[in-house]
Structure 1
Amino acid sequence: MKPQLKTKFLKPALEVVEPSFGSSFAYINFSRNANLKAHVWHYHPEVELVFVNGGSGKRQIGSHISYYTDGDLILIGSNLPHCGFTDDTTGNMNEIVIQMKPDFLGDSFMQLPETKSIAQLFTRARGGIAFGPQVRNALGSKMDKMAKQQPFERLLTLIAVLHELEKTDDYKVLNAEGFSLETQVQDNDRINMIFNYVKDNFREPIALEDVSERASMTVPSFCRYFKKMTNKTFVQFVNEYRVVHACKLLAEKPIPISEVSYESGFNNFSHFNKSFKEVTGKSASQYRKELHAHLE
């Protein structure tokens, strides 16, 4: 018998960030399995740069949900809600988190001809940015070396890393243009309630009528509202969340694909196959085969 649906909804928690000693920004190098925040939905005014050194896991940033393999390099804009990227099954070597105020270099400095592109990078990061493997490997190693640098040298390295991130074309903005959770308080509370509801209950059937009622809206009004806020339909969002969880199970557990389908909230196997291909561009069996070939 499946558990009852949860009815308690949590807003994203405000994380208070303190700069590292002698620095204008926070730099933390976590050893493997030390930063277990994959379940924590939070936000902060600081821009966050995260390097996951190896391993695989789930990204949830704003309304975007995806699964990464072989590490990750992510830039998250100011006040963009997100979950952590690692848990005890990720298998990463370490994780580096750098958090800085958008104006940590000073407004005048950020308007210099040599540095104003960094301000543009921070603006682009409002949707969340994932960088490709070449950039990830090259800059991840620079971020790793910052652990042994003195504050001034560490600052210069960070500026150089941000400059390289701004120059590269090897990136993907994760949330559609125009997406932002920096809305009116009422909208913020409502959309966060919906995200938490899906996160807690995606394994169960989720009826539009039920979630519309929880949002105190009619079904048509809710559908228009959700599309306006996230640039995707609610059904699309739920299916993407379930498919990403299926990707995680395919990578981490040697269980039959039919069981992966059920554990991810799909009660209809043909619907699972169709949704999986729509989101990933391949079948579940092909995805698992290619992933294992890549890891061998």
Structure 2
Amino acid sequence: MKNIKPSFEVIEPSFGSSFYYSKYEEKLNNKAHLWHYHPEIEMVYVNGGAGKRQIGSHLSYYTEGDLILIGSNLPHCGFTDTNTGNKHETVIQMKSEFLGKDFLNLQETKGIAELFEKAKAGIAFGPETKNLVGNRIEIMDIQAPLERLLTLLNVLNELSNAEDFKILNAAGFSMEMQAQDNDRISMVFNYVKDHFQEEINLATIAGLSSMTVPSFCRYFKKITKKTFTHFVNEYRIVHASKLLAEKQTSIANISYESGFHNFSHFNKSFKEFTGKSASQYRKEIKSIFK
């Protein structure tokens, strides 16, 4: 069995800086493939391309790049792979108090404090905001430390004023909990990631969590606001969405590769999740990348 233990990531600020910054060329950010978490708030800008977005219990497929903000200790996976087709991926990680414990208590930073609070459930920003701040995020790569810090504050201010954003996890969702709980739920996420193409037995996953099946079901629903079955089906549908965009194989084969062994169940689930049939989705997604 693959290692499904969640990764607690230890992050050191960039040399001469109070926060971490890294800009990856296409296909080179391979270190975050497992579900992992860390106390730092994380901003990720993917310049172009399409891929899976997996943050907390939220699962979706993005197109034309992505700009997200992930709160402290919110489990997530990497956002790019060899098929994403992005130009760059930029990752910024900072502790909420990276400029001092009183910084977010200032009147001038009230908006940023509210932004960090929203980020506890994960935030995805729309095209207008991506276009507004994307280039600023990328040019931080060549800026001197003070200039880079000022740019980051400027970007955070823009994000705090953005109107085209989506909160990714349900109201009341929170992964700020005991380390044991965070490890347990991330272990479950990693197990689904590694085994979604197979039949996933509730008794097995409950056993790995050291719980009875009823206790596990209640626990998972309490943490994620979703049933475990719903989460697994969503994971499979998001994977199918990715394959529909990237591969020319038949929809029936994609259904099977995504863990659905009943084609009619796949069709019904796909339409419920996306609002359209798999064939219609493929047609629309192909038109975007013409």
Aligned: 1:255 with 2:249? yes
Cα deviation, residue 9, structure 1: 4.6
Aligned partner letter, 2:52: K
Q: Does the 8 A contact of 1:37 with 1:83 survive in 2?
A: no
Give runs of aligned pairs for residues 197-216 of structure 1, distance below 5 A.
197-216=191-210
Structure 2 match to 1:40? 34
Separation in 2, partners of 1:185, 1:36: 25
Q: Does the 8 A contact of 1:58 with 1:85 survive in 2?
A: yes
Aligned partner letter, 1:31: E
Q: Which moved more, 1:251-260 or 1:134-143?
A: 134-143
Aligned partner letter, 1:128: G
Cα deviation, residue 33, structure 1: 1.1
Q: Does the 8 A contact of 1:67 with 1:248 survive in 2?
A: yes
Q: Does the 8 A contact of 1:38 with 1:87 survive in 2?
A: no
Point out where structure 1 has 5 or more consecutive residues left out of the alignment. 1-5
Separation in 2, partners of 1:57, 1:69: 7
Cα deviation, residue 11, structure 1: 2.6
Cα deviation, residue 186, structure 1: 3.7
Q: Which moved more, 1:51-60 or 1:35-44?
A: 35-44
Separation in 1, partners of 2:199, 2:4: 20
Structure 2 match to 1:166? 160
Q: Label 1:152 to 1:41 Cα distance change in 2 as closer, same or farther (>3 A).
A: same
Cα deviation, residue 211, structure 1: 2.5
Separation in 1, partners of 2:167, 2:53: 13
Partner SS for 1:114 = helix
Aligned: 1:136 with 2:133? no
Aligned: 1:92 with 2:86? yes
Aligned partner letter, 2:255: S
Structure 1 match to 2:151? 157
Q: Which of the residues 265, 277, 288 maps onto 2:259?
A: 265
Q: Does the 8 A contact of 1:25 with 1:104 survive in 2?
A: yes
Q: Does the 8 A contact of 1:226 with 1:233 survive in 2?
A: yes
Q: Does the 8 A contact of 1:17 with 1:26 survive in 2?
A: yes
1:39-92 deviations in Å (ceiling 9; x for gaps): 222222111111000011111111111111111001011111111111111111
Aligned partner letter, 2:269: S
Give runs of aligned pairs for residues 55-74 of structure 1, distance below 5 A.
55-74=49-68
Q: TM-score, normalised by structure 1?
A: 0.93
Q: Which of the residues 172, 175, 196 maps onto 1:178?
A: 172
Aligned: 1:277 with 2:271? yes
Indicate the percent of aligned positions where both proteins have the same amino acid.
Answer: 66
1:259-290 deviations in Å (ceiling 9; x for gaps): 00000000001100111111111111111100
Superposed CA RMSD in Å reads 1.5
Q: Does the 8 A contact of 2:48 with 2:85 survive in 1?
A: yes
Partner SS for 2:107 = coil
Q: Does the 8 A contact of 2:23 with 2:90 survive in 1?
A: yes
Partner SS for 1:107 = coil
Aligned: 1:23 with 2:17? yes
Separation in 2, partners of 1:287, 1:157: 38
Runs of 4+ more than 4 Å apart = none
Aligned partner letter, 1:130: A
Q: Which of the residues 167, 190, 204 maps onto 1:196?
A: 190
Q: Does the 8 A contact of 2:40 with 2:73 survive in 1?
A: yes
Cα deviation, residue 207, structure 1: 2.6
Structure 2 match to 1:101? 95
Aligned partner letter, 2:42: E
Separation in 2, partners of 1:58, 1:279: 15
Q: Which of the residues 124, 127, 135 maps onto 2:121?
A: 127
Separation in 2, partners of 1:230, 1:188: 12
Aligned partner letter, 1:41: W
Separation in 2, partners of 1:45, 1:218: 30
Aligned partner letter, 1:146: M
1:233-258 deviations in Å (ceiling 9; x for gaps): 11110000000000110011101000
